[in-house]
Amino acid sequence: MQKRVLLTSAALALVLSGGQAYGQTRPTAATASVDELVVTATRREERLIDVPYNISAVAGAQIEANQVQNAAELLRSVPGVAVVDRGPRNQGVASSIQMRGLNVDSVILGDYAVSAVAPVSTYVNETPLFANFALVDLERVEVLRGPQGTLYGSGSLGGTVRYIVNAPRPGETGGRFGATARHTAGSEGVGFSGEAVLNVPVGDRAAFRFSASLTDLPGIVDYVNVYRLDAQGMPVAPAGVLAPDAVYYAQEDADTVEIWYARAAFRAQLTDAIDVTLSYTQQSDEIGGRRQVTRGLSGFGRRYDDYENGSIQLEPSSRDVRLAALEATVDLGFATLTSSTSYYEHEGESVSENTGYYAQNGWLSFYYNYPRPMASAVRSYADKALIQEIRLVSDSDGPMDYVVGAFYQRQRLRATQESYLRGFARWWDLAFPTIPNEVNIDQDFAYDRREEFVDKAVFGELTWHFTEDFEATVGGRWFANESDNRTFMDVPVYASFSAPVNIRFAAEDSKALFKLNASWRFAERQRAYATVAQGYRRGGANAVPLTGRYREDARWQTYGPDEAINYEVGVKGSTPAFTYTAALFYIDWKDIQLNTVTPNWGFFVVQNGGRARSQGLEAQLDGRAAGFRYSLGYTLTDAKLTEDVFAPTGGATPVAREGARLPGTPRHAITVALEKSVELANGSTLTGRINGYYQSETRNAVTTSTRLNVPLEGFQLWNASGSWENGPWRASLFVKNIFNEEGVTGRFTEAYMGTLPSAGYFGSGAKDLITLPRTVGLALERSF
């Protein structure tokens, strides 16, 4: 630790020393005071420091200046937020954002779509959507901690993240374009990305705004045990199908990344009172494999090296996201009416190596340990929704303010898995020639789940300003949810065993929620507050068969909502030198939703069970001293189960035990950033930045399974950059993960997905989810 601190200090000195003697320091667009940042978290424009609860915001200019690579890096800079970094592959399948420890799912859950809503909701402008769009042309990102159901149509259990994109600007012609080249440790190539933004006015009251980006990166991870496949996609059998021989090759830099992003928006100020924006956003991802590495020995006795993966097949993924939105505001004088209408489609698919899972669960013996085993899980997901939200926000200066709204969402989800044992049917015909018709297909599992959710809600808050310095808010939400689930499953590989089933089941629930908040400005620009807020997640239907070969217990049919009550007290304020926030929180979480599978036939389901509590402290300090801009953040999170969790069918052995730490969230997390700008003699500006993140040990899962519930070591990440600006030009040199920390945030253990040479499996499905290795880049940008 001491060595790294010294090296970090030296790196910062080198970045900053080049221009320090040439002139006085000056703030840049990226270093505007936090006190000056305006947010709309309360549905009104307010300075960040005046919002009466714990909220953080990151300006878009700061994201650009720091050359932030992705959402994981961005959110690590925010106290109170933990991120499971799965890399680009399948980055839209499951949210990896955690706030205040509210998570019970294994952190490796991200290869297939689940039914339960993520505890943290995400918004793109006014649309509730988890899409992990590229960080392009953002005005700011707001992070709201704790339940937000009384202000936002899509309720949230643990918090909300809002990505707010720059709106078209009437009367202004401008834009920028830039390009970045980067090299990452482990890669044999250099990656490139480009970005462009253009704002075109149409008269004085309307404008178009276009933004686009392309990211093309070589891979980092080598797949070193890949089967050579024949024209039918089966492992090559050089000594004959019945012989155990196979042909392997190594695919270097397999996890390639290609991401296209584009957005077009048109804004018209129809009158002084009516403002309308129509936008369309699209992103397409093509990812070659996992940024996940295998440890230990392969089946051949060879130790895996850095940035190597033991999969015996490539694991590509792809996805497409399309979002259309119409947002309108009408100034009624006494209030502002806002309407948001949006429709999105989010679809993706991937191939996963599942042979290690079969091997460690004894399933290969069910298939006679056929030679060259290759279990491929081909998965897809689709999320389509129509959303309408209307809000009325008072504009009066009187003693009372209010926000009222209504929300409607019709969402259609689909998740499929088609599992194949490549080459099994071909081998069977030669191994058992007397019964050739028993196995006619390589597919050993077929699963298709289609769900429809209709969510309706009314919500609002009423604030009474008792004095200029004291106010109280009461909020409420009433919601009604309906769900319909249709599920198909089959095991078609054996003709005598196949018995396809179709199940349909519906569920509904409704409830009222509350929020109470009090805020006291005890001094000029100093505020104390207290909040009690209730959060929820909707329930639904699992739809499992109750008769036939694949029958399950009826208690698996549905799952109910889970609820959390967040108690919070805090202080925040600013002085000419710094701003600060500090909050203590306690959360009581009950009827917890856990994504799991049924014990008999492995249906993907959600179950309720148990209680948990999370308590802790969040603190942040931002300011300037000796010409430097600094930021410090600390989070303490103590999250654990307070009751045993049992399967819905009961039983003597709990799924998870009282006292178990909730997975994915560190007990301690620290963020630090330092920045200084100097003006050179020729009028240009030199800026140096360094930032760091530390998290303590986490857990991989909460369950009693020792194959999953293992500790993950803590780690720290340091980044540095230097930029030179002269008029419209900016050039930046940056280094991410200076000390090349692995930063493991999830693990597929050997006991869960490891190698098994005795069954003919010489690869390994074990792997660690690592952060982006050391990356050095050069960016050039021009504004106009």
Q: What is the DSSP letter of 554?
A: G
Least confident segment among 150-164, 381-395, 398-412, 517-531: 150-164
CATH number at residue 126: 2.40.170.20
Our measurement of the distance from residue 43's CA atom to the centroid of its chain's CA atoms, rounded to an integer in Å, reads 24
Between CA 511 and CA 481 the distance in angstroms is 9
Question: Which residues in 491-599 belong to E strands, given as ranges?
Answer: 501-523, 526-537, 540-541, 558-559, 562-574, 578-590, 593-597
- pLDDT confidence band for 54 (50 / 70 / 90): confident
Strand partners, 581: 572, 620
Q: Which of 485, 486, 488 is nearest to 507 (CA)?
A: 485
Which pLDDT belongs to residue 546? Answer: 86
What digits encode the pLDDT tens for the residues 108-145?
A: 998 988 888 899 999 999 999 999 999 999 999 999 99
Residue 467: is its pLDDT beyond 90? yes
- Which helix (H) or strand (E) element contains residue 427? helix 424-431
Mean pLDDT of the chain: 91
Q: Side chain identity at 650, as an amino acid letter?
A: G
Q: What is the pTM assigned to this prediction?
A: 0.93
Q: What are phi and psi of 706, to 5 degrees?
A: -75, -10
Average of pLDDT values for 325-339? 96
Q: Give the phi and the psi of residue 775 in degrees, each rounded to 5.
A: -130, 125
Which residues lie across from 370 on neighbouring strands?
none
Are residues 286 and 188 in contact, defined by beta-carbon separation less than 8 angstroms?
Answer: no
Sign (positive or negative) of CA dihedral 129, 130, 135, 136:
negative
In DSSP terms, 429 is beta-bridged to: none
The pLDDT tens digits for 534-545 are 998 888 888 888
What is the DSSP-derived secondary structure letter of residue 562?
E
For the record, the structure tokens of 165 come out as 């994109």
Containing domain of residue 450, as a range?
A: 2-783
- When divided into structural domains, the chain yields a total of 1
Separation between Cα atoms, residue 238 and residue 245, nearest integer Å? 6
Task: Quote the pLDDT of residue 597.
Answer: 87
Rounded average pLDDT over 427-447: 93
The stretch 679-684 carries a mean pLDDT of 92
**Cα(420)–Cα(77) distance, rounded to whole angstroms?**
42
Q: What is the mean pLDDT of residues 24-49?
A: 64
The confidence band for 778, taking pLDDT boundaries of 50, 70 and 90, is very high
Note whether 119 and 103 are within 8 A (CB).
Answer: yes
Give the model's pLDDT for residue 784.
94
**CA-angle at 389, arms to 388 and 390, nearest 5°:** 130
> Is 32 a residue whose pLDDT tops 80?
no
Q: With CA atoms as reference, report the closest residue to 481 among 454, 513, 450.
A: 454
Q: Angle 475-478-484 (CA atoms, 0-180°, nearest 5)?
A: 145
Phi, psi at 230, each rounded to 5°: -90, -170
CA distance 75 to 63: 11
Cα separation, 675 vs 732, whole angstroms: 14
Per-residue confidence (pLDDT) for residue 18, from 0 to 100? 34
pLDDT level of residue 14 (50, 70, 90 thresholds): very low
Q: Which of 155-164, 195-204, 682-691, 723-732 has the least mean pLDDT?
A: 155-164
